[in-house]
Chains A and B, each alone.
Chain A
């Protein structure tokens, strides 16, 4: 079976500091990978997605970047955090075969920028 991991679970960072959040998936090959941000416990905002190693699509211009250095690894980064970067960050994966379009989410990282 497939498993998705995210770390850290919680993070408190000062404004202007760098950020690195990591997501890994086990038990599948060549998944689609996604980064979402959820503000105020409600709506989801798709930040980045990737259909393969080194292939990143950015949905919203912002202070963040993403990378996919390995097939099942997805990293969200920032060089200098802003207060507005606070939120709940969710990584997700999906199969790339027809008929399986649902996404499976990780446990999330709660980021507080102070």
Chain B
């Protein structure tokens, strides 16, 4: 079955430190992967995607993600965290059986402390 896993319910980081939010996937063939961010009582905002090409993908607000095929991972990273980065983050993969759909992870809450 196709899926994405976000193994951490919450990640705590001090402001100014690097942050990583983890995502692993289980999809046959080449995956199409996405990251979204959700602020309280708001809709999800698209951050970045990996379709093909360079394994390091850069996105909005200084975020980037690294596609690692051997480890089936797509971790979200930022070199220096801001308090304003505190939010809920979702990883997603395109459903290969029904390509109109995305399969979302359960979300990771990022808390950045001043």
Contacts and interface: CB of A to CB of B under 8 A. Distances in A.
A25 interface: no
Interface residues of B, number: 22
B104 A102 contact: no
Interface in A90-114: 90, 92, 94, 99, 101-108, 110
B46 A46 contact: no
B46 A90 contact: no
Interface stretch (A36-44, A60-68, A79-87): A36-44
A103 B102 contact: yes
B27 interface: no
Interface of B: 32, 34, 36, 40-46, 49, 51, 88, 90, 94, 99-102, 104, 106-107
Interface of A: 6, 32, 41-44, 46, 49, 51, 88, 90, 92, 94, 99, 101-108, 110
9 contacts: A32-B100, A43-B107, A44-B90, A44-B104, A94-B100, A101-B32, A101-B51, A102-B49, A108-B41
